[in-house]
Amino acid sequence: MSCEFLDRIVTVEQMRAIEGRLFDAGMPVAALMEKVAGRIATWLVAQFPLQHYPRIAVVAGLGHNGGDALVVARELAAQGYRVQVCSPAERLKPLTADHLRFVEYLGIPVVKAIAGLAPYDVLIDGLFGFGLERSVEGAMADAVAAINAAECPVVSIDLPSGLHTDTGQALGIAVQATHTLCLGLWKRAFCQEEALAYLGQPHLIDFDIPPTAIAAVLAALPTIRRATLPAIRQRLPLPRQVNTHKYRVGHLLVVAGSQPYAGAALLAALGARASGVGMLTLAVPESLRLMIVAQIPEALVLGCPETEAGAIAHLPDTLDMSRYSAIACGPGLSRHAGGAVQAVLQSPTPLLLDADGLNLLADLGTIETLKQRQAPTVLTPHRGEFKRLFPEQLENSEDGGAAAQQAAAQSGAVVLLKGACTAIAHPNGTLWYVPESTPALARGGSGDVLTGLIGGLLAQAMASDTNDALDSALDAALVGAWWHGQGARAAARDRTELGVDGTQLVQYLNPVLAQVLA
Ligand SMILES: NC(=O)C1=CN([C@@H]2O[C@H](COP(=O)(O)OP(=O)(O)OC[C@H]3O[C@@H](n4cnc5c(N)ncnc54)[C@H](O)[C@@H]3O)[C@@H](O)[C@H]2O)[C@@H](O)CC1
Ligand SMILES: [K+]
C-alpha cells in the first residue's frame, strides 16, 4: 500500500466501510481472510521461531476474527509448529465454521475450553475483533480470564478480545496481550489511554488496502493520524540550509520561573537549547538571573521586577515582544504572574502557554479571546490543566483526542493534551496522536523540558516557514511531543523508568534524534 495512509486512524464504522468497498469491488471475503492471516503467520514465524516456540495454542471465536485465527493455525501447522485450537463459541459464522472443519480434518486437536489445552509456548487470541458489540460474558468471559492467566506471550489478532474498537474500553473483561497485531489500519482503541494496559506492543499488519478505498471513506473527514517517523522526518528543522545564520533559525523568548519554582525555568531553557533554536532569551525574576546565566551561558537573561512572593511582577518595560520568533510562557511562574501572561497574550508573537501560564489563562477566563490573537497559540495542558480550561470537554468521555479537537475548535489554538498517548489537535479538526511514550515521564519537570523543546521548534518554524503559521505551530508541537517521548524511552532503557528526571531527559534528546534518524 502507498505509505500515505498507513498512519491513519479509523473507527469501526469506517473500517467496515473500507472493507465493504473491497468486497463490492470483487475481492472475495475468504480470499481477504487468507491474505491477512498469511501476513499474520509470517509475522509470528519471525517473532516466535519454531526452534524456540514449537507449541502454539490458538483461541478462535465465532466471527471472522476467529476465522483469521483458524487460518493462522493451519498455516503454522503446515510450517511444523505443534498447533492446537480452542473453540469455545457456538453458532460460528459460515466461513469460520468451514475453517474449523478443515482444521479438524488436518488432525489439529480442537478443544472447547482453554483448560483442555496441552502446554504451549505462545497463545494466539482470535476470540473477538472489531465485531465486538456487547459485554463479554459466560464461556467467553471464562476464556478471556483463562487467556489472562497464561504465562507465555499472548498475541491478539486485530484487538485484544473484549476491547471496544473505538473507545478502547474493556467490555466486561478483556485480554491483556503482550502483542497486538492491528489489521490494515490503526483502530481508535490503539490511541485511547484506557486501552494501553491491554495492548502490549502494538504492530500494524499491512494487507495492501487500495488507497482509493481509504480515500473514498476518509476524504471528507478531519485527518486523524498516528505520529510515525516518516511524518516526523518531514517536519524536523533538518537539514539546515548550509548558508543559514543564527537569526534565521529562530529567536525564542522563554518567560518562566519564580523563587519557589526556579528549576522550572532552567529545565525549559535546557529543552529549548536541545531544540537547536538560534537565539534564546529568558525573562525570569531578577533574583534568578545569575543562576540561569551560570547554567545557560549562551542565553540572554532578562531580570524582571518581582512580587513579594518572588514571581514576575511585570515584564521589563523595554521588552519588545515583536522581535521574537516565538514566546514560550508558563513553567514555574506561580499564580502571581498574571501581568506577564496578559502581556504575552496581547503580543503579536506566536505563543506557547504551559503550566501556570495555562492556570493564569483559566483565571483570566479569556479562552475565546485567543481567537483574536494575530499569531498562532499553542496550549500544552495535562489533564488537570485541561479540565480547568475546558471544563465541559472531558466530562462525558475519557477520549482525550476528541476533547482536544473540541478545545482547539473552541479556542482557535493548537491544543496538545499530554498523557500516555498525547493528542494534538488543530482548530480545523486535524488530530495527531503520539503513542510512543513511557511512564518514566510521569514526574515533575518533564513538562518544563517539553515546553522549551516545542518553544524552540516553534521559533525555528516561524523564522523560516512560508507555510500556514497555524499548520507550522501544530507541526512544532507534534515534533516536540514525539521527540520528547523518544528521549524519555531511550533514557528509561538505560536508566529504568525511575531514572528519568528532567536534567537526565535533556541529555538524551539530541543523541536519540541522531540515533533514530540514522
Ligand atoms: N478489517 C478487515 O478488512 C478484515 C477483517 N477481518 C477480521 O474480521 C474481524 C471482524 O469480524 P466480525 O465482524 O465477524 O467480528 P468478530 O470476529 O469480532 O466477532 C464478532 C461476532 O461475535 C458476536 N458478538 C459480538 N459481541 C459479542 C459478545 N460480547 N459475546 C458473544 N458474541 C458477540 C457478533 O455478533 C459477531 O458475530 C476483524 O477484527 C478481523 O480480525 C479479516 O478477516 C479480513 C479483513
Ligand atoms: K482478538
Tell me the pLDDT band of 245, cut-offs 50, 70 and 90.
confident
For residue 135, say whether it is annotated as part of any ligand binding site: yes
Helix axes 64-78, 94-105, angle to 10 degrees: 20
Residue to probe by mutation, ligand 1, list 14, 29, 39, 65, most atoms within 8 Å of CB: 65
Residue to probe by mutation, ligand 1, list 9, 127, 128, most atoms within 8 Å of CB: 128
192 and 294 co-located in one domain: no
Separation between Cα atoms, residue 452 and residue 458, nearest integer Å: 10
Distance 133 CA to ligand 1 centre (A): 9
205 and 325 co-located in one domain: no
Tell me the pLDDT band of 256, cut-offs 50, 70 and 90.
very high
For residue 392, say whether it is annotated as part of any ligand binding site: no
Place of cell 502490549: 200
- CATH number of the CATH domain containing 39: 3.40.50.10260
Which residue among 221, 250, 277 closes a domain? 221
Q: How many domains does the chain have?
A: 2
Separation between Cα atoms, residue 380 and residue 415, nearest integer Å: 6
Distance 160 CA to ligand 2 centre (A): 5
- Ligand 1 pocket by Cβ (under 6 Å): 15, 19, 32-33, 36, 61-68, 93, 128-136, 140, 157-158, 183-184
Over residues 458-469, mean pLDDT: 90
Q: Is the peptide bond before 239 cis (omega within 30 degrees of 0)?
A: yes
* Global confidence as pTM: 0.96
Q: Residues 422-455: pLDDT tens digits? A: 999 999 999 999 999 999 999 999 999 999 999 9
Q: Residues 352-365: pLDDT tens digits? A: 999 999 999 999 88
335 and 477 co-located in one domain: yes
Over residues 73-87, mean pLDDT: 98
Separation between Cα atoms, residue 204 and residue 361, nearest integer Å: 40
431 and 365 co-located in one domain: yes
Q: Residues 96-121: pLDDT tens digits? A: 999 999 999 999 999 999 999 999 99
Amino acid type, 481: A
287 and 432 co-located in one domain: yes
Confirm whether 392 is domain-assigned.
no
417 and 302 co-located in one domain: yes
If we measure between CA atoms, which residue out of 197, 194, 171, 172 comes closest to residue 180?
A: 197
Confirm whether 442 is domain-assigned.
yes
165 and 296 co-located in one domain: no
216 and 250 co-located in one domain: no
Q: Which run of H or E residues covers position 178?
A: none
Which residue among 159, 188, 221 closes a domain? 221
Tell me the pLDDT band of 3, cut-offs 50, 70 and 90.
low
Place of cell 514525539: 482
Confirm whether 163 is domain-assigned.
yes
Ligand nearest to the CA of 137: 1
Distance 433 CA to ligand 2 centre (A): 23
202 and 245 co-located in one domain: no
Over residues 507-517, mean pLDDT: 97
What is the ipTM, given to two decimal places? 0.97
Separation between Cα atoms, residue 170 and residue 338, nearest integer Å: 43
Confirm whether 265 is domain-assigned.
yes
138 and 275 co-located in one domain: no
161 and 262 co-located in one domain: no
Check residue 396 and give its pLDDT: 65
Tell me the pLDDT band of 368, cut-offs 50, 70 and 90.
confident
Residue 23 CB-density burial (10 A; 0-12 exposed, 13-18 middle, 19+ buried): exposed
Residue 223 CB-density burial (10 A; 0-12 exposed, 13-18 middle, 19+ buried): middle
* Phi and psi, residue 406, nearest 5°: -65, -40
Residue to probe by mutation, ligand 1, list 1, 12, 43, 64, most atoms within 8 Å of CB: 64
Residue 488's domain comprises: 230-234+241-386+399-517
Nearest residue by C-alpha to atom 22 in ligand 1: 63
- What is the strand order of the sheet 122-126 is part of? 110-111, 82-86, 55-60, 122-126, 154-157, 179-183, 201-205
Amino acid type, 396: N
For residue 501, say whether it is annotated as part of any ligand binding site: no
Say yes or no to pLDDT of 283 above 70.
yes
If we measure between CA atoms, which residue out of 430, 453, 432 comes closest to residue 441?
A: 453
Ranking 153-162, 271-280, 297-306, 358-367 by mean pLDDT, the lowest is: 358-367
Separation between Cα atoms, residue 124 and residue 143, nearest integer Å: 12
Joined together, the cell numbers standing for residue 151 give 504465562
From the CA of 184, give the closest atom in ligand 1: 1
Distance 69 CA to ligand 2 centre (A): 9
For residue 64, say whether it is annotated as part of any ligand binding site: yes
Q: Residues 196-217: pLDDT tens digits? A: 999 999 999 999 999 999 999 9
Which residue among 191, 221, 251 closes a domain? 221
- CATH number of the CATH domain containing 356: 3.40.1190.20
Distance 254 CA to ligand 2 centre (A): 48
Check residue 187 and give its pLDDT: 97
Tell me the pLDDT band of 264, cut-offs 50, 70 and 90.
very high
Are 367 and 410 contacting, i.e. CB atoms less than 8 angstroms apart? Answer: yes
Distance 164 CA to ligand 1 centre (A): 11
If we measure between CA atoms, which residue out of 139, 488, 332 comes closest to residue 147?
A: 139
Say yes or no to pLDDT of 1 above 60.
no
Ligand nearest to the CA of 155: 2
Which residues are paired to 125 by β-bridges? 59, 156
423 and 361 co-located in one domain: yes
Check residue 167 and give its pLDDT: 95
Confirm whether 35 is domain-assigned.
yes
Distance 65 CA to ligand 1 centre (A): 5
From the CA of 185, give the closest atom in ligand 1: 1
